[in-house]
A and B are shown apart, each in its own frame.
Chain A
C-alpha cells in the first residue's frame, strides 16, 4: 500500500514536471520534500515513469549535497558553519550538540530520532551563531542552551508529534 502511494505520488510529480525542460532536479526536490530523502525505490520509480536511466538520476543525486539518499531521522539538527557563525563560535555549538546527541557531524543518533549536520550559511548571519531544527531557526545560541533545545524536540518526539 505504502509502495502504491509512493508510485502515485511520483506519478503526480512526473505528470507535473516530466515534459518540462530541466526538470530532473525539481522532481528530486519534490520527492525529498515529501519523504525527507530520496529513497532508492523512489529513484527507481521515477526512472521508470519519466524514462531516464537510473544511473543518470544517481549521477545528479550524488553530486548535490542537498539531496539525501538515506532517512535523516525525525529531527534534523543543522549547525550553520558559515563564516559569520564560524566566527561567533559555531565549532563550539557543533561540539556541544555532538556531545548531547552522542554523534558526530553527519551522523544520526542510535535511535534514529536525531540527525546532526553542519550546513553553510542559512542566511540569518545577523543572528549568528545559528542552529536550525527541521524548519525552526534558533539565533544567537550558546553551547549551554543545546541541551534545552534537544530536550524540547525529544519531548515532541516522545509525544508522537513528529
Chain B
C-alpha cells in the first residue's frame, strides 16, 4: 500500500532545489518541437553545461508546448534576478552558444549586469509581442514551465493543493456548487455546464458499487491539438481535475481515453498515474481520506466518431465505436451501464485552478454566458501559428490579427473556421464578434474543441466545404442512414460543383439534404456534418453560383474553383 505522502514537504523541497539553481533552461519537449529537433537540443544543452562544469548548478527542463510552434524549437533561459529570454528556431549549435555566451556569463556575473552578444538578436523572440501579451493562461499556465514527467515539478507549482483542500475541507456537494458557480462549461464542444453534469452523476445510484469518470482525450478535429498539448504538457493537472471530479460525483474509477496517434501523450499520462499512485494520490485512501479511485488508460484506434461520448463508451468496452441514442445520458447509464461522467481534457484541466483561485476569479473572465478562457490551435494563413489561450469574449479579429499576426502572404484574409468538421466558416467582415458559445453558434459556426483555421483569398470555400464533408463521410460509422447515405450523396453533389457541372437544382438539393441530415441523424457527427456546407453557402454563395453560372454558359469549359 502506498505510503501516506506529505506532498507539502515534497513541494517545498523541490522549490528550494529550484531556487538554488544558477539558471534554468526550459526547452519544449512536445511532439511538434521534438519533431523539429527538440530532443537533440536538450542533449546539446546538457552536454554543453557539463563541459562548463555547470551540470549540477543549472537545470535543463524538458517542458510541454510553449505555444509558438511555427518558430520552434523554443528554449527559454531563466537566470534569477534577470528577465527571461526566449530563443526561437534553436539548433544544437545555437544551444551550445546559448550555454557558452549567455548562461555561463550571466550565471557568473554579479550585480554589474551583463549584455547578450549581438549575434543572438535574430534568434531572440521578444516576449512583449501581442502573441504573448494578449494571452491569458489558465489551462496552459504551467505548460512550458513544468517538466511533465516529474510530479515534483507539478507539486512545486501548487499541484494537488486543490485536491488536498477539497478532501480536507469540502463536501462533494460543495465542490459541485463551486464548479457550478464558476460558470465552467464543457470544452469538448457542447458547452454543457460542468457543475450540472457532475450534479446529475452525484445523484445517480452506483451500479454494482461502481460509478466512473471518463476523460475524453480523443481529439478528433483534424487540424487541432489542444488536448494533446495539455496531456503532453501538464498531465498531472488533468489527473488532479479527474480526482476532484471523482470525489464530487462519487466515482470509483477513472478512465482516460486517448487517441493512439498520440503516443507521447499516452506515455506521459501513464507516468503521471504511476507517480501519483506512488505518492498516495491515486488508489486507496487518497491523501489519507476515504476516497478510493484508481485510474486507467484506454487507447482509441483512429475513429473520429469515438469522440462522441456514447461511441467512446462503446470503444472503451472493446466494441465497435458506434453511438447510441441519448437519453439515457452517460451520467445515468454509461460505461458498462454504470453512471459515468464524460469530460473533455481541457474541462478537467481547468478544475484545479478554479478550486485554488476561487469561483469568482474564474467567473470574472469571459462573457455573460461563457466564463474563463479557451485554448485554440491557431493555424492556417497566419504569421504566428501555434497553441494559444485567450479569455472568452476576446474578438476573433484580435486573435487572428494581433495574436496570429495576420497573413504572412500579404493576401486579404477571407474567413476563419472554428469547430472543425462540425463547425463553420466566419467571414472576415464578421470577425468583430466575441468568442463565446452563443455568438459563434449564431454565426453558423461553433466553439468546437478549439481548432481555429485562418483562410485567405487562395482558399476556395467550396473546396473547404468538400474537404470537411469528405472527412465526415469517411468517418461516418454507418449506423444511421441520414448520415451514411445523405453524406455520400451530398459529397457527390459538391463534387459536381467543383467539377463545374452543377445546376441551381443541385444547390437546392444540397440545402434540403443538409436539413435532413441535421434533423434525422443519430448522433452529433451526422447532425453537424452539413455545417461547413451550410455556412459556406450562407456567406460565400457567390463561389457556388460561379460554378453554376459557368456551367450554364457553354462557351466556357475550363472552369476551376478558385478563391475570390
Which residues on A are within 8 Å of B, measured CB to CB?
21-26, 28-29, 59-60, 63-67, 81-88, 119-128, 130, 136-139
Residues of A within 8 A of B193 (CB): none
Residues of A within 8 A of B318 (CB): 22-25, 60
Inter-chain CA distance A88–B86, complex, in Å, is 27
> Is B420 a contact of A65 with CB atoms below 8 Å?
no
Contact A29:B260 (CB < 8 A) given known A83-B420, A139-B35:
yes
Which residues on B are within 8 Å of A, measured CB to CB?
31-32, 34-36, 68-70, 72, 219, 221-225, 228, 260-262, 298-304, 315-321, 335-336, 377, 379-381, 385-387, 417, 420, 451, 453, 455, 459, 467-468, 471, 477
Contact A66:B380 (CB < 8 A) given known A25-B318, A126-B72, A137-B35:
no
> Is B261 a contact of A65 with CB atoms below 8 Å?
no
Contact A125:B471 (CB < 8 A) given known A64-B303, A66-B301, A87-B381:
no
The 3 A-B pairs of least Cβ separation, nearest first, read A126-B69, A137-B35, A83-B223
Residues of A within 8 A of B35 (CB): 124, 127, 130, 136-139
> Is A120 a contact of B222 with CB atoms below 8 Å?
yes
Inter-chain CA distance A81–B471, complex, in Å, is 10
Question: Would you give the shortest CB distance from A79 to chain B, in whole angstroms?
Answer: 13
Contact A125:B379 (CB < 8 A) given known A23-B318, A83-B451, A120-B471:
yes
Inter-chain CA distance A59–B420, complex, in Å, is 29
Question: Would you give the shortest CB distance from B97 to chain A, in whole angstroms?
Answer: 23
The residue from B301, B386, B453 contacting A64, defined by CB atoms under 8 A apart: B301
Question: Would you give the shortest CB distance from B541 to chain A, in whole angstroms?
Answer: 21
> Is A26 a contact of B299 with CB atoms below 8 Å?
yes
> Is B70 a contact of A126 with CB atoms below 8 Å?
yes
Contact A86:B299 (CB < 8 A) given known A25-B315, A124-B31, A126-B386:
no
> Is A82 a contact of B301 with CB atoms below 8 Å?
no
Can you list 7 pairs linking A and B with CB atoms under 8 Å apart?
A: A22-B318, A28-B301, A29-B299, A66-B300, A81-B222, A121-B221, A139-B32
Inter-chain CA distance A93–B307, complex, in Å, is 28
Residues of A within 8 A of B228 (CB): 123
The residue from A63, A64, A124 contacting B32, defined by CB atoms under 8 A apart: A124
Inter-chain CA distance A86–B35, complex, in Å, is 19
> Is B321 a contact of A63 with CB atoms below 8 Å?
yes
Residues of A within 8 A of B417 (CB): 83
Contact A125:B224 (CB < 8 A) given known A65-B302, A84-B453:
yes
